[in-house]
A and B are shown apart, each in its own frame.
Chain A
Amino acid sequence: MQSSSERIARIASHLHPPSSQMEETSLLGRSGCRAKGGTPGFKVAILGAAGGIGQPLAMLMKMNPLVSVLHLYDVVNTPGVTADLSHMNTGAVVRGFLGQAQLDNALTGIDLVIIPAGVPRKPGMTRDDLFNINAGIVRTLCEGVTRCCPNAIVNLISNPVNSTVPIAAEVFKKAGTYNPRRLLGVTTLDVARANTFVAEVLGLDPRNVNIPVVGGHAGVTILPLLSQATPPSSFTPEEVAYLTERIQNGGTEVVEAKAGTGSATLSMAYAAAQFADACLRGLRGDAGIVECSYVASQVTELPFFASSVRLGRGGVEEFLPLGPLNEFERAGLEKAKKELTESIHKGVSFIKS
């Protein structure tokens, strides 16, 4: 009978492509307080684990061999999700935490915190329309991080990411725990969409296409750099317009298809799991882990900006240059910066006021 670990590896192979240098080393531990787990690996917490994104994300993280402990926190339903996942025959020990009184327990000893918590869009809404509810949720959860795992890597999914990342930064600054290299807004779904839509136009396998996506995570702030596509490709103006618009509105496409029942959950879980896995491989010390992410940045004059970054033991280790932009992309960049500036200001003001 084929071993279960081989089967899991097949299904989850996308999650952890073999790292040629680091596969066999055991540099998995990090110093500091550790929650108890079975196998060597990292401790991951998902805040919002019972939600539409949180549940499939929790399933994917439970399948990730780099995870030794998985804490599932939410304000409802975590006991059920935890019981469900705990039956899976993978190494991660799963623990559930229910209600704000258990937030600190959920976060103690954690290496990586993933935050999908909050409400999703309905048709006609922008991500910014979620601001009022989600800003408060993110603040509360980030305050927990400052108390219990101030050195953790934080992956922020809660929308509007363009504002919630600055909110998180302000919360961390207030507590004196802010490390800009460890706070990352998740934009991986924009990259996945770009790769998929471009592959469709080019007639290629999406796994062989890579498009950097910079700027932010909403509408025109999402800037795919088609001129930097791998494999190098040239696009007609119609293709550029179509692809750029489709990538920018990919989220809206799903909100409308779901007709009021939610926004992207499964693809978001996939993207978040991919990005979390990259962070874990960086924490492990793997070389060459490059991802797009929305982070505190000096790549432009804006305080936060999404671009390709190299991840390592400290979180963001290096900012890759934006590279050459063509005229269309330069114009797009200016448009993106205008809206991003406002969104960042809105997030910062929420905490400062």
Chain B
Amino acid sequence: MRSILFRSALKRGASTAIRSFSSESAPERKVAILGAAGGIGQPLALLMKLNPLVSTLSLYDIMGTPGVAADVSHINTRAQVAGFVGDDQLGDALKGADVVIIPAGVPRKPGMTRDDLFNINAGIVKGLCTAIAKHCPGALVNMISNPVNSTVPIAAEVFKKAGTYDEKKLFGVTTLDVVRAKTFYAGKGKVPVESVNVPVVGGHAGITILPLFSQATPAANALGAEDIKALTKRTQDGGTEVVEAKAGKGSATLSMAYAGAVFADACLKGLNGVPDVVECSFVQSTVTELPFFASKVRLGKNGVEEVLGLGPLSDFEKEGLEALKPELKASIEKGIKFANEN
């Protein structure tokens, strides 16, 4: 294995510290991925390495990251890559991060709900968030670890305890639900998928996922009430669809990496001052009486600049909204309780 000293001695005039390229006008941005050696983390690391907005990419996991980092570091794009492995390197992985993406944790097996993952993943998320509060409290946190409906509230409690909580900077990633809603709508409505927009609100599990097809563009007039019902159910069960197709080998990884990269990119653009960056995300919210709720948010230099309202809902969607609230409320409370008792 190459000697690090030899390698740095060969860098002409450049120190081993973070370097910026004189040719690059986009601001320096550090992205950290916690869980980078996992099924989602690896393709997500690839996509973030390809994103020209990223200047430093920090890959952390409890194992496997030296190999993933060596692999990804060979790609001839802007970001400098560093791998970190094990708890005692977590701080270095996080220092100076602008965006922290957390796919860490275990995936579902057939027959499991996202909530079944709670016991393992809650502890993992708590530990990682404790480190974030210590080492990069100002970072935007993109939470992928399931069950998102609970892990986001857990994160909030950890940050509150540390005195670092900023509700504008904590996001549960629901982008894959939006991706699925768009894809399924385009298929059934026979419109080009690249042109489709569908908001998805609520949460990130089963019936807490509420796609608002009444607000979908472009309009697909051929879709009747039964079609909308079927599309809604398919969007809600999209994750389960993949878990079953993988027959015990895992849950969505590639589409989740793609969605995670899309959302992280939106966060980076917001940080860089690009106007009108709007994404759906599960955030602290007053849109309903629940403390956390997914809806469209406008992203900017501070993270969430504005939580957008739900817009007009069809009767079917209003029913769906009332139906999801009890489950979402329970999941949120389960997360808060865990954080306060552990």
Contacts and interface: CB of A to CB of B under 8 A. Distances in A.
B96 interface: no
Contacts of A257: 1, 66-67, 69-71
Contacts of B262: 4, 7-8, 11
A87 B252 contact: yes
B64 A261 contact: yes
Nearest to A246: B2
A74 B206 CA distance: 31
A259 interface: yes
Interface in B42-82: 42-43, 45-47, 49-52, 64, 66-78
A202 interface: yes
Given A80-B247, A270-B46, A88 B255 contact: yes
- For chain A, the bracket of interface size reads 35 or more
Interface string B219-255: 0000000000000000000100110011101101111
Given A83-B241, A208-B23, A253 B1 contact: yes
A56 B195 contact: no
A50 to B, nearest CB: 9
- For chain B, the bracket of interface size reads 35 or more
A199 B12 CA distance: 10
Nearest to A80: B246
A325 B47 CA distance: 36
Given A2-B278, A7-B265, A201-B10, A56 B46 contact: yes
Contact of B11 (A11, A192, A203, A265): A203
A105 interface: no
Contacts of B69: 257
A79 B241 CA distance: 11
Interface in A236-270: 238-239, 242, 246, 250, 253-254, 256-259, 261-262, 264-267, 269-270
Interface of B: 1-2, 6-7, 10-14, 19, 21, 23-24, 42-43, 45-47, 49-52, 64, 66-78, 176, 179-180, 182-183, 186, 192-197, 238, 241-242, 245-247, 249-250, 252-255, 257-258, 261-262, 265-266, 276-279, 296
A91 B11 contact: no
15 contacts: A8-B194, A39-B192, A56-B46, A59-B43, A82-B245, A84-B246, A87-B180, A87-B238, A91-B194, A192-B74, A200-B11, A203-B12, A261-B64, A266-B71, A266-B75
A250 B245 contact: no
